Amino acid sequence: MTAPQRPRVPRRALDGVLLLDKPIGLSSNDALIRAKRLYLAKKAGHTGTLDPLATGLLPLCFGEATKFSQDLLEADKTYEATMRLGIRTATGDAEGDAIDTRAVTCDEAAVQTALRRFLGEIVQVPPMYSALKRDGKPLYEYARAGQTVEREGRRVTIHALELIECALPDVTFRVTCSKGTYVRTLAEDIGEALGCGAHLVALRRTGVGALTLEHSVTLDALSDATQPERDAWLQPVDALLSTFPQVHLNEDDTRRFLHGQRLRLSTLTITGAAVNAPRVRVYAAQGRLLGVARQGEGVLAPERLIVTTETNS
């Protein structure tokens, strides 16, 4: 006799942003799947991968918030990292086998000097153990097969690089960097500048754009919570857009905007820290987020519109 099928749990249409504190050992996609299951969400996505060995801030987008996840992919990131001097590994982190061992003869002053050398725009050669593709194949597949392929250096920007602790051979630092920066590679390059090599042993992301760990939650806490308690952890969709200037439209302009029509900037008042920024978050008069628009040549042009605003607030 065939066992009766369990009824399918209906999925929820909800919009918002979850600031997840990802645990070590879990991929970004696995973390997303678990959170999506806990929320019974119809639609969800993350805003850029965090390595399984890394912990920290992983913003997850639900529903309409997924339309703005690309903005966080482009945003600067902040990390706290610990590197171990004197040992280079095949992967640049603690997962790989040691391939070079050298004596550590530097002191804290030398470490401080080396860190300053990497401030500003630098050129990084992407690591072989990365998801970047060559001829349609990820680099890590070549690396696992014992092959090394030529990689072009890429320009990235190190906005801030601060020593937190120097307990040689371990060095802990905080870095704020542009998109595309490999902290593993940064640690290796600092190790080479010190003449002893290095590899990354710990990495924690503490900031993505204007978002921080301050209002984050762990998967364990979500698992133990009731659904209303989980919903309370969701940030509104415009948490992703907090750095954008804003404009509030009257009823007539709201209707035109939602129909994709351009509005004359001369009739609008844009507020915020960077009122001349190319992109603006747009609200109805009562405070409902309508979407994002571009301003220029005297007009405000709709770019991405919110279909529904069932956010938890």
Contact status, residue 83 vs residue 182, Cβ threshold 8 Å: no
R_g of the chain computed on alpha carbons: 23
> At what angle are helices 108-117 and 183-193 packed, to 10 degrees?
120
Active site residue 51: yes
Which is the catalytic residue, given 21, 51, 93, 253?
Answer: 51
Instruction: Dig out the tokens for 160 from the structure.
Output: 């801030």
d(CA 194, CA 114): 7
**Which residue, 212, 207, 214, 278, is CA-closest to 245?**
278
Give the Cβ contact number of residue 130 at 10 Å: 18
**Which residue, 57, 41, 91, is CA-closest to 205?**
57
d(CA 83, CA 191): 9
Contact status, residue 311 vs residue 16, Cβ threshold 8 Å: yes
Which residues are annotated as catalytic? 51
